[in-house]
Amino acid sequence: MYPIRIGSEFLKRGYRVYGLCIKGTRVAKGMQESGIETFEINSKKSLFSNQFLLLSRWLKERDVRIIHSHKSGDVLISALLDLLSKRYSFFTEHMGVTKPKKDIFHQWVYSHLYRVFSISNETYRRNLKALPVEANKINQLWLGTDVPLQSLLSTFDISEIKNELNIPEDSVVIGNVGRICAGKGQAELLEAFSKISTLFSNSHLLLVGGMNVSEGSENDFVASIKKRIKELNLNNRVHLAGFRTDAVRMLSVMDIVCLPNHNEAFGLTAIEAMAAKKAIVGANTGSLPEVLGNAALLCDPFDPNNISQKIEQYLTSSELIQTKSTLAYQRALELFSMDKHITNLETHYTEAYELTKFQSKQ
């Protein structure tokens, strides 16, 4: 949903924004609801058969000179479009590739890119090694989120949300937001919580994330999590909220946000938790140490004992919770605001657009 988010922000700044999407998808619906005019295709296969020339004409009629792709598979589309009409293409590499893409095919495809954005220093290092792109064309560009000047969490009725989720009002909630899959560390977090639950009788675990493949999860993994909850006799202490569109509302009931992600490329949930002024336990791997800085406690995401120890540090010190949550909010405000992110993107787009005007005069 990131393209929808930045598209909406650019619309607010007075830009014209267009989207390419597959008909009937959540992305298509989201773009339409956000006021983004779309070119809809039946499938990627249909685009490469009978709809490609129509797309090129559609872009030309709207004088689109900047293209921004967010999936590696879409970079080929922008390269082919570049053959028909010169445009400046950007690509945000959200994952950080690990397998080299320096064969002849990828060299040709990526040669049509004007700039590659790496969403963290971690992904930047991966991209330098793996992509057939000159170093001066790869930029590190952190993502952003809404960071209110004052906390919005006080506007929520916490008791009402807890009641909705069947969580006791006087409970202490440890939470996690993200796709329910092996790499996000929910299995290790569950084992850690089983230890915490015996020490703190009012502790509860809230897992927010899709519960099936269509929502980004892994079905077998979800099944294993449910089975393990039952084995640990934690059915009344662990709450599976499923896919939610109200992440900030879910964060509002969490006293501690735990993100033991195995090898996160960035950590959008991390900056959302910081913006929500939460005490955070984050993995000491991937990009999370870079994103969180000194605003969180770091853990070994593969060691449930270590995870539980970090959570326990918070549960036994309200002062530590206050200190870290304040640092988290300040860091989000300074480095990860959506306004800052959009302004950075705007600078790159403007640079490319000025080049298109220069070339049109030649």
Q: Using CA atoms, how far apart are residues 59 and 53, in angstroms rounded to an integer? A: 10
Best CA proximity match to 324, nearest among 303, 293, 347: 293
pLDDT at residue 102 is higher than 60: yes
Model confidence pLDDT, tens digit, residues 20-79: 999 988 889 999 999 999 999 988 888 887 789 999 999 999 999 999 999 888 999 999
Q: Using CA atoms, how far apart are residues 163 and 147, in angstroms rounded to an integer? A: 27
Model confidence pLDDT, tens digit, residues 107-161: 999 999 999 999 888 889 889 999 999 999 999 998 888 887 665 556 678 889 9
Residue 78: partners with Cβ closer than 8 Å, 6 or more residues away: 67, 69, 87, 89, 91, 112, 113
pLDDT at residue 361 is higher than 50: no
Q: What is the mean pLDDT of residues 79-107?
A: 89
**Residue 171 half-sphere exposure, CB side, CA atoms within 13 Å?**
25
Model confidence pLDDT, tens digit, residues 237-274: 999 999 888 888 999 999 999 999 998 888 889 999 99
pLDDT at residue 362 is higher than 50: no
What is the pLDDT at residue 256?
98
Name the 3-class secondary structure at 240: strand
Confidence band (pLDDT; 50, 70, 90) for 215?
A: confident
What is the pLDDT at residue 86?
86
**295 φ, ψ (degrees, to nearest 5):** -90, 10
Task: Write the CA distances from 342 to 151, 242, 276, integer angstroms.
Answer: 21, 30, 20
Looking at residue 352, its amino acid is A
Tokens of 163: 């009641």
Model confidence pLDDT, tens digit, residues 281-335: 999 998 999 999 999 999 999 999 999 999 999 999 999 999 999 999 999 988 9
Strand intervals (E) in 6-59: 18-22, 37-41
For residue 118, what are the β-bridge partners? 93, 140
